[in-house]
Every structure is written in C-alpha cells, then in structure tokens.
Chains A and B, each alone.
Chain A
Amino acid sequence: MKVDQISIFLENKPGGLERVTRILKEANINIRTLSIADTSEFGILRLIVNDVEAAVRVLKEDGFRISRTTVVAVEVPDRPGGLHSIMEVLSGHDINVEYLYAFVEKSGENAVIIVRFDNPDQAIDILIKNNLTVLPGAKLYSL
C-alpha cells in the first residue's frame, strides 16, 4: 500500500531544477506530482514518477544525490473538514507527519495527499481501520 518517492538534493542556484526536468524528459519519465522543501542554501525536491527505477537510474548517472523514501497516498474527501478527518484519526496514535503535499490528480471525487509518516506501516493500518482509502503505488502512478 506504500508509495515510492524520490528525493533529490539541489543547491539553490539557477538551472538546478531544469537539469532534473531535462533528464526526466529525455528518459521519457512522467512526473505525477512534486514538492520542494528549501532553505536559503539548498532544497530537496521530492517526486512521484511513473517509473521509479528508471528515474533513480538516470538521475544517479548524472551525479545527483538521490534518496528513496516510503510515503503514503491517502484519499481525502473533497469538502470542508476533509483533511481534518484524517489528522483526527492519526492524532490519537502518536504518529508524526514529517511532511505532506497534494497529489495533482483526483481519485474519482476525492483529492489525494502524499504523506511522509515516521511510521508508515502503522499509519496505513490505522487509516484502513478507519475506512479511509490508501492508494497503492501502482494505482497512483496511473491516475
């Protein structure tokens, strides 16, 4: 039920992001969604792509520092209080959200968020027990 995310270390300098997008374009890899966490000096670009193995390979070949992280994709009801319903479920279980960001496509009528938990397995268990929909990687890549 987990999703593979690629993180890329980038210095804050002109052309840094362009190099990544060019390499992925040339390898015919589709970026499904992304987010950037940054400081004044460097950033971490996080990507969900349709072909994780190929993306890791081409980026590493070009000398990028890459890490692979397990994240969880959760459907969020597209209405007021939608995200809150998820946080409410988790807050009682001592699970930390390291970061989260939105997925671009909807899953049916629902929005999708990508969440990095400190304990993804436990988080998935709790979400499913509470009738929330967790999307497996394969489904997410093809939305």
Chain B
Amino acid sequence: MAVMIYNEEFETLPREVLEALQFKRLQQVLQRVYHTVGFYRRTFDAAGVKPDDIKTLADLSRLPFTSKQDLRENYPFGLFAVPMSSVVRLHASSGTTGRSTVVGYTKRDIDTWSELMARCFVAAGLTKNDIIHNAYGYGLFTGGLGAHYGAERLGASVIPMSGGNTKRQIMILQDFGPTAICCTPSYALNLAEQGQAMGVDMRSLRLRVGIFGAEPWSDQMRDQLEDQLAIQALNIYGLSEVMGPGVAMECSEGREGMHIFEDHFIVETINPETGAVLPPGEEGEIVFTTLSKEAFPLIRYRTRDVACLITAPCRCGRSHVRMGRIMGRSDDMLIIRGVNVFPSQIEAVLVGIEGLEPHYQLVVDRGGTLDTLEVQVEVSERTFANADEVKVLQKMERRIVKDIKDYLGVSAKVKLVEPKSLQRFEGKASRVTDRRKL
C-alpha cells in the first residue's frame, strides 16, 4: 500500500527548498517579534543582534535562548505578539514544575495546528474512516483540543473522552469500537490494566493504533502496550509552549524517531550546560523556534527535553528531520552520586525483567553526604501468583538491584509495594520524589 502523507508537498520538500522556506519564514518572524514583543527587543538588543543580522539559518545561533523562566516572568500575556482581539483561544501548561505558562492562538494558528495534528494522524495510518478515542485531557491542557481539531480536520470521527472516569472509557472502547486511541502512555497502561481487571479482553477491541505522548516512555513500554492492547503504538511529541501536540510525530512506516514539521519549526540540539549547538545525531537539549505562529511565536525556546536528531532519510518519504525518543527532561535528570539517571532508564530495566510491570516511583534522598535512590516497584500479579515465599520476592528485589547497577552504574534500594499503592496518573506521570535538600 502506498504511504499516505497528509500534506505531501510540504512534508517531502527537498532539503534545500525546505531550508529556503525556513529562512524566509525565520526572517519574517524575527522582524515581527522584534517590533511587537518588548521581551524579544530587549534580549536581542542585550545580545547585540538585530533581525537584519541573521543572514543564514546558521546565524540563528547568535540569538539568545528563551527559557521557561522567561515565560513565567511574562505571565500571563507578556509574550503575545498580537492584540487580544486577534486571539481566539488560550491554553496553559500543566504547571508541574512551577507557575503555569499561558499560550494564545489566532484563528490561523488554530488552523495550522489542526493541519499538523491531521498530518500526525495520517502518519499513524489513519484516515477519515477511523474512529479516534481521544483521552487527552480537554481544558487548559493542549492535548485534548489539539488532537480533537486534528481528527476533525482529517474527517475522522472523534470521541471527545478527555481524561479520567476509566471504567466509562473502557465501556466506550467496547461499545463505540474506536480504531485509534490518543492518551499518555501511562494512562493507556492503566486502561489496559483496569480493563483486564474488569474481565474485558482488551486485545479483542477494534483498536489498531495508539498515539501516545506528553511524557517520556520507553521502547519496552511500547512492546507492552502493543501486546496488551493488540495495537501499533506510536510516539507523538509536542509541548504547549511551542504549539501543543503535533510538533513531531512518528510515522508507522519508520517507527524510529518522530518527524518534526520543519516547515513550521526550526529545531536545534544544544549542550544544556554551555548552550553550544550540537551536530545532528548528538544527544542534547531540544530547542525550537516557531516559524508560522502568530499569537505566541517563540525564538530558540529551550524545551528541557533531551533527545537526538536523526537526519537519515526515512522510508516513509517525509524529508523532515526526526527526533529520537526523549531520554528524559534535562531538569528531571537525576544525578545520583555523580551518575546521570533518567527515570526512563529505570523503567527500561524494570520492564526488561520477566513478570514486572512499569509501575514504579523513584525516591531520591540524601543520608549524610550520600545520595540514595529507592525504587518502589509494584508486585505484579504474574510474579506473585507463582511465589508465595519471601525468598522468591527477595530474589526479585536483588535481581532489580543488580540490573540497575549493571545497566546504569548506580546502586539503588528496591522496595516491592502493593499494586495501586503508587499513584496512577491520568495526565503526566511524575515518577520522582526528590527529598534531597541541596
């Protein structure tokens, strides 16, 4: 079957044409923010750079970064580049790490966003004949409405479930027979688990595709979701500051890295400590510049997400660069006794052990001068059904400790806990409790 591409012209532009388009759009957005947003005029002036000084795409690195802190300091509307009369919608980020940041959209912004989400659905192999169960939260969070508008743009039938009310979600999955589901990967696992507990054969639903994002997850978790729900699980990327979901999407043909819609965004990877731009392929913090957004343009926005860029051609034919799986956020990276640890790596270890499920929580503390890492892992039904002896469970604990040590080079204490004693997250999973007073 031929590969389906929603906007074939723009998604397959040859590199030189794409870069020419990016540069033209970059010049326009730089002029616009310099003349309409006080913050950018001040930071550009402080860096001694005028929009006219940017003569090539590479010159972009001369411009200062924009940080989450800058967004907070300009709360709520300080970075808007259009008057409120042109803004048709407001969203706010979940604010998991501080005061939320507010983003605005013009009518054309919503239009662009809808198209990019439609591109994502088509990249996942969906058509207007699909029924999409949208369990991203509706409201201030961008996930729900972002996916919703994209599904409608495609012409698919969208079920606006939003998050929560898991039993009802499972009923709808059975009764409406959606062929695709969008939600966070941890919530998808939660649905699979609760469905099984209710006696529903979650593999025999009509679902064939899952589009999961809004939090980092691992390839092992993908295998597990694909197995438990009998679907193809694909990774989607976005963040409200840059637009919402639909900034980048994995294609069902390649399944290796998410295509960043480069006709609308310029992506860079940087060394998070020095700010230096890294060559493609090197892992670093992802930085975005928006090219077409009107209400809330962003210049060199530091996402804190750590990933690498893949420039090799993709078998799907899209020419847009891909970003690899998010290795974590540069600010949720834990440093345990000098070792860098991402929660996603711990997860990969856990799901690599037969019988374990990736329901876990990390507790970091400091006893005296030494950092301690405690990994709380739920005892899975499968493990315990074959083991009512203390020694079997202790052996499991030792295995986890050893694997974490072997793979990550860090000593952890492992604590087995009862099922469901760890929080189940319907939005973003927060896996880490850091009790260190640093």
Interface residues of A (CB under 8 A from B): 5, 7, 9-11, 16, 37-39, 41-42, 44, 46, 63-69, 98-99
Q: A10-B418, A65-B383 are in contact. List 8 more A-B contacts (CB 8 A).
A: A9-B379, A9-B418, A38-B390, A39-B394, A64-B418, A64-B419, A67-B384, A67-B386
Contacts of B197 in A (CB 8 A): 63
Contacts of A67 in B (CB 8 A): 384-388
If A67-B388, A69-B388 touch, whether A42 touches B420 (CB-CB below 8 Å) is no
Interface residues of B (CB under 8 A from A): 197, 379-381, 383-390, 393-394, 415-421
Query: CA of A37 to CA of B415 in the docked complex: distance in angstroms?
Result: 16
Query: CA of A99 to CA of B379 in the docked complex: distance in angstroms?
Result: 22
Chain A to chain B: the 9 pairs with minimum beta-carbon distance, closest first:
A7-B388, A65-B384, A67-B388, A63-B420, A67-B385, A65-B379, A69-B388, A11-B418, A37-B390
Contacts of A41 in B (CB 8 A): 415-416
Query: CA of A69 to CA of B180 in the docked complex: distance in angstroms?
Result: 41
Query: B389 contacts A63, CB within 8 Å?
Result: no
Q: Which residue of B lies closest to A42 (CB)?
A: B416
Contacts of A11 in B (CB 8 A): 416-418, 421
If A10-B418, A41-B416 touch, whether A66 touches B385 (CB-CB below 8 Å) is yes
Contacts of A38 in B (CB 8 A): 390
Q: Which residue of B lies closest to A10 (CB)?
A: B418
Query: CA of A42 to CA of B394 in the docked complex: distance in angstroms?
Result: 10
Query: CA of A10 to CA of B419 in the docked complex: distance in angstroms?
Result: 10
Contacts of A37 in B (CB 8 A): 389-390
The residue from A16, A42, A66, A98 contacting B389, defined by CB atoms under 8 A apart: A98
12 contacts between A and B (CB under 8 A): A5-B388, A10-B418, A11-B416, A16-B418, A39-B394, A42-B393, A63-B197, A64-B419, A65-B418, A66-B384, A98-B389, A99-B389
Contacts of B394 in A (CB 8 A): 39
Q: Which residue of B lies closest to A45 (CB)?
A: B388
Query: CA of A66 to CA of B415 in the docked complex: distance in angstroms?
Result: 18
Q: Which residue of A lies closest to B420 (CB)?
A: A63
Q: Chain B's nearest CB lies how many Å from the CB of A134? A: 21
Contacts of A9 in B (CB 8 A): 379, 384, 393, 416, 418
Query: A46 contacts B416, CB within 8 Å?
Result: no
